Amino acid sequence: MEEYNEFFRIGQYTDAEAMTGCTVILCEDGVTGGVSVRGGSPNTRDTDALKSENNRKFVHGVTLSGGSAFGLAANAGVVDFLEENGIGRDMGITFVPNVVGASLFDLRIGRADVRPNYQAGRNACEQAFSGQQFQAGNYGAGTGCSVGTINGAKNAMKGGIGLYTMRHGNLWVTAVIAVNAVGDVYEEELGKIIAGARKPGEKKIGFSEELFLEHYQNEEALFDGNTVIGCVMTNATFPKAKMNKLADISHNGIARAIRPSHTTYDGDTLFVLGANQIEASFEAVSILAVEAVRRAIIAGTKTAATYGDYLAYQDV
């Protein structure tokens, strides 16, 4: 059993017909949270509350969803579910859960008119409390993910959601990442790109940076609607300001695995949650966080399944 199960519950809602879904990370007792948004086209909920200078002390849930701006509706279902189960800030008259979230663009796959909604958020929470095992690839927020979209949908590849845990002694860091990038996915161990933009008639994979350079005088959106989103969990203890810094550094894992990363056309967003269980140096946690994010991206890419023109890693 993964270490994170002691402090966090993960649940997923998947609509395999419409090719969209959402993933929730729940923490009943509340944990310290942070966030970093580096992409140029984000869709987020309540990220301002996580700023170091603001009063929000604890987070009870993170929602990662497909559906672009429409998919943020799933957060409302998560909030209501948690309130009904007595999870959140006890205000005397009710419980107010602190739920943050981000959505990615997956409307070009499957049905554009079906997006994660209120009920999808509730369903994901129900799965989290039922003990659902995490599934990587075309599940939850990863259902409609794609990579290498700069050359159009027919020349892109399938992305997915991945999870990876790094451990050192009693310290652990787990990353859950939905891989939906305009760029290509690079695996350091193989020293090559494993998924990304293709060109008709060519076997090579990974033309994203080349195509960006070819169109260097084109200021129009080359191919918008992407975004890598995720959540990093750890048992380490840090104040809110350090959690925000950790979220910022965790993006280095995206930079190591996605080429190019953090583009104008991505809304790359990472949340970080700390269970405050053990003391650890910030540098040690940062090293594990970056690697967990990188490996979660590789896992999400390698477990994705082909859908239509979006070929998966395992089929190329």
Q: Give the model confidence (pLDDT) of 162-197 as tens digits.
A: 999 999 999 999 999 999 999 999 999 999 999 999
Per-residue pLDDT at 313 = 96
Q: What is the mean pLDDT of the chain?
A: 95
Two structure tokens written together for 4: 């994170």
**pLDDT tens column, 262-297:** 998 889 999 999 999 999 999 999 999 999 999 999
Share of the chain above pLDDT 70, in %: 97
Neighbouring residues of 268: CB distance < 8 A, sequence distance ≥ 6: 37, 38, 39, 42, 227, 228, 229, 251, 254, 261, 262
Q: Is the pLDDT of residue 218 over 80?
A: no
pLDDT in tens, 15-26: 999 999 999 999
Per-residue pLDDT, averaged over 31-49, amounts to 95
pLDDT tops 70 at residue 144: yes
Q: Which amino acid is at 289?
A: A
Tell me, what's the pLDDT at 240?
97
Q: What is the predicted pLDDT for the residue at 201? A: 80
Task: Name the more confident of 316 and 218.
Answer: 316
Determine the pLDDT at residue 203: 82
Sign, CA dihedral 60-245-248-8, equals: negative
pLDDT higher than threshold 80 for residue 221: no
- What span, in angstroms and rounded, lies between the C-alpha atoms of 138 and 140? 7
- Burial classification of residue 85, based on how many CB atoms lie within 10 Å of its CB (0-12 exposed, 13-18 middle, 19 or more buried): middle
Closest CA to 233 of 23, 13, 76: 23
> What is the distance between the terminal CA atoms of the chain, rounded to a whole angstrom?
32
Q: Which CATH number fits the domain that encloses residue 132? A: 3.60.70.12
Rounded Cα gap, residues 255 and 39, in angstroms: 11
Q: Model confidence at 220, in pLDDT bands (50, 70, 90)?
A: low
Q: Is 279 helix (H, G, I), strand (E, B) or coil?
A: coil
DSSP code string of 183-201: SEEEETTTTEEEE----TT
C-alpha distance from residue 79 to each of 165, 199, 251 (Å): 27, 44, 27
3-state SS assignment for residue 37 = strand
Mean pLDDT to the nearest integer, 307-316: 94
Q: What's the rounded mean pLDDT across residues 5-29?
A: 96
Strands 258-259 and 184-187: antiparallel
pTM: 0.96
Q: How many structural domains compose the chain?
A: 1
Give per-residue pLDDT as tens, 69-84.
999 999 999 999 999 9
Beta strands at 99-103 and 59-65: parallel, antiparallel or unpaired: parallel
Domain of 91, in residue numbers = 3-315
Given pLDDT bands bounded at 50, 70 and 90, which one contains residue 151? confident
